[in-house]
Chains A and B, each alone.
Chain A
Amino acid sequence: MSKAAALSSFVQSTPPGELADVTKAIKSILGNDSVQNELEPAFQTYNEEQFSTTKLPGSSNEVLVSPYNSLGDGVYYDVESQSSFKFDHATQKASNVQTYALESNHSDVVKSLVKSLGTHATEHYPKSSIGVYPVEDDSQLAIITVASKYSPSNFWNGRWRSQYIYTPSSGSMTGAIKVDVHYYEDGNVRLLTNKEVSLSVGSAAKAPEIIRKIADVERKYQEDLNKAFGSLSEGAFKSLRRQLPITRQKIEWEKISGYRLGQDIGGGRTR
């Protein structure tokens, strides 16, 4: 694998909120700071895929970047604040905020979706950013939610992402929900999930109806995910290693050679 491919695989695998740490480590491993330019394309892919968020100067709200609201040359736009901004992919900081008026045949739907999605997000995500953007020549709408929480002092970070592509003409909606959790106190544990979603909402659906469908599918997913933790714990985890031997007693190591004679146990050939 080439150097560039290795470096970009590191960036792609960066946990939520840890891009600066990963970049710092890469520079130290290579022993030079000039690798920054080489990393730039990987940073952009990462930020757009992860829906990285940033505060616009003078505002307390965080806006997101994605492939769907890119205007090219590192400039992105936000519907709610009607502004465009330059995004630095290495530092994840915004600058050069300008007024941006959305031009779309669906601008009314976009605005009411932003409003309904915003209400929904406030009800279920303690801290989130949302976006609705016309894509594919104004024939579809991308509906994005990203909720991140970073707690590096407690060695964990997490992110929930949902994205849906809604086609107004057919009323169909496809998308994916992804969860990424990193826990790294005395170790490195990662939860990565990906749930593909396909919904039909009807071509004349109003914004609140569309968002209700999204709300339902996300609630169901979180419930399923909670159940999955339980079944993995009771299933795969339990069958890997018992908490205690079937006798419910710890081993008497002084008598270990007698175990083989007393109990007809297999000799390492079983799997």
Chain B
Amino acid sequence: MADPIDSALDLLRRLNPKDVKANVDHLISLNPDLTEDLLESVDIPLAVRKCSKTKRDFLCCDYNRDGDSWRSPWSNEFEPTLEDGEGVTPSDRIRKMEVKANEAFDVYRELYFEGGISSVYLWDMDDGFAGCVLLKKAVNPTPKSSGSWDSIHVFDAQDRARTAHYKLTSTVILSLGTDSAELGGLDLSGNMVRQIEQDLAVDDDTSHVANIGKLVEDMELKMRNLLQEVYFGKAKDVVGDLRSIPPLSQTNRDRATQREMLSSIGR
């Protein structure tokens, strides 16, 4: 029998992606041994909290969590306040970089998303550092349609002489829906995952922020194109494979005529 965690991930790849959070909860109650692996490896839509110090919203994931509290990237403090102790925060050097990265991705967020929320979290590693860049936006362009975008970019950077080796895993969770009398209900939801590895030059910690910025920017451009293709190209094509608007006898006749023409040209 397959490893239960592999089976759980396979199951989550099949069940309605819209229910991923509920399904993870069910899986944990069915097999509590899977708890840690599932929380670590399954991306769910990001929760939002308000930083009480700066009054700014920030995003929550497993990487800024300590028990039932989450660290704000704006204040470096946990919300709600941890009852026992201070919680894990990055070293001074990494926190400085984290502040810069949050400023940079705040600009990125405004330029690409024109709204929404961003948060960057970094943490120390033995041979460098690691982090995640989170972005979230929701829209209601018309009363009858809605959409939400969550990107979760998790990376690590291994220091080498004058360069760093970056490994990036990106997930975008995209949910779109409409509900109207004419069309009825339509929900088009899901997530896609991509990975890359790259070596980039590093002069100082500022280069790290710029390098991660470029990697995430390129990745999101690629993923946006991919999502466009899958959500609006592939899904529509499959519907066309299930049902044909023109009568199939006509389509088949047209194809036969075309074949005949082609073969007569060939002769």
A residues neighboring B (CB under 8 Å): 1, 3, 6-7, 9-10, 13-15, 18, 21-22, 24-31, 122-126, 147-149, 156, 158-160, 177, 179, 181-184, 186-196, 218-219, 222-226, 228-233, 235-237, 239-247, 250-251, 253-254, 256-257, 259-260, 265-271
Closest to A220 in B: B182
A233 B231 Cβ-Cβ under 8 A: yes
A225 B239 Cβ-Cβ under 8 A: yes
A190 B242 Cβ-Cβ under 8 A: no
B1 A6 Cβ-Cβ under 8 A: no
Nearest Cβ in chain A — how far from B129, in angstroms? Answer: 18
Nearest Cβ in chain B — how far from A255, in angstroms? Answer: 9
A229 B232 Cβ-Cβ under 8 A: yes
- Shortest beta-carbon contacts, A-B, top 4: A189-B190, A195-B184, A236-B147, A187-B192
Closest to B178 in A: A228
Chain A CB within 8 A of B213 CB = yes
B residues neighboring A (CB under 8 Å): 1-4, 6-8, 10-19, 22-23, 26-27, 29-31, 34, 56-57, 103-104, 106-118, 137-139, 141-142, 145-149, 174, 176, 178, 182-194, 209-211, 213-214, 217, 220-221, 224-225, 227-228, 230-232, 234-236, 238-239, 241-245, 247-249
Query: Would you give 11 A-B contacts (Cβ < 8 Å), ordered by A?
Result: A10-B15, A25-B2, A31-B1, A31-B31, A126-B244, A187-B230, A232-B232, A240-B137, A242-B114, A243-B221, A268-B109
Closest to B148 in A: A240
A13 B16 Cβ-Cβ under 8 A: yes
Tell me which residues across on chain B come within 8 A of A28, comparing CB atoms.
1-4, 6-7
Closest to B116 in A: A271
Closest to A254 in B: B210
Nearest Cβ in chain A — how far from B105, in angstroms? Answer: 9
Partner of A21 from B14, B114, B139, B147 at Cβ < 8 Å: B14
Tell me which residues across on chain B come within 8 A of A148, comparing CB atoms.
242
Q: Name the prevailing secondary structure of the B interface residues.
A: helix
Tell me which residues across on chain A come within 8 A of B14, comparing CB atoms.
14-15, 18, 21-22, 25, 182, 184, 188
Give the docked Cα–Cα distance between A253 and B138 (Å).
26
Give the docked Cα–Cα distance between A254 and B213 (Å).
10
Closest to B19 in A: A13
Closest to A181 in B: B238
A29 B224 Cβ-Cβ under 8 A: no
* Residue among B8, B183, B242 with most chain A CB within 10 A: B242
B1 A232 Cβ-Cβ under 8 A: no
B104 A256 Cβ-Cβ under 8 A: yes
Tell me which residues across on chain A come within 8 A of B238, comparing CB atoms.
149, 156, 158, 181, 183, 191
Give the docked Cα–Cα distance between A183 and B228 (Å).
13
Closest to B206 in A: A254
B191 A188 Cβ-Cβ under 8 A: yes
B247 A190 Cβ-Cβ under 8 A: no
* Residue among A14, A194, A225, A241 with most chain B CB within 10 A: A241
A239 B141 Cβ-Cβ under 8 A: yes
Tell me which residues across on chain B come within 8 A of A242, comparing CB atoms.
111-114
Nearest Cβ in chain A — how far from B108, in angstroms? Answer: 6
Give the docked Cα–Cα distance between A47 and B191 (Å).
27
Nearest Cβ in chain A — how far from B246, in angstroms? Answer: 9
A125 B242 Cβ-Cβ under 8 A: yes
**Given A186-B194, A253-B209, do A156 and B186 touch, yes or no (CB 8 Å)?**
no
**Given A188-B12, A219-B245, A241-B220, do A235 and B141 touch, yes or no (CB 8 Å)?**
yes
Give the docked Cα–Cα distance between A192 and B139 (Å).
20
Tell me which residues across on chain A come within 8 A of B183, comparing CB atoms.
193, 195, 224-225, 228
A196 B184 Cβ-Cβ under 8 A: yes
A124 B115 Cβ-Cβ under 8 A: no
Give the docked Cα–Cα distance between A126 and B245 (Å).
11
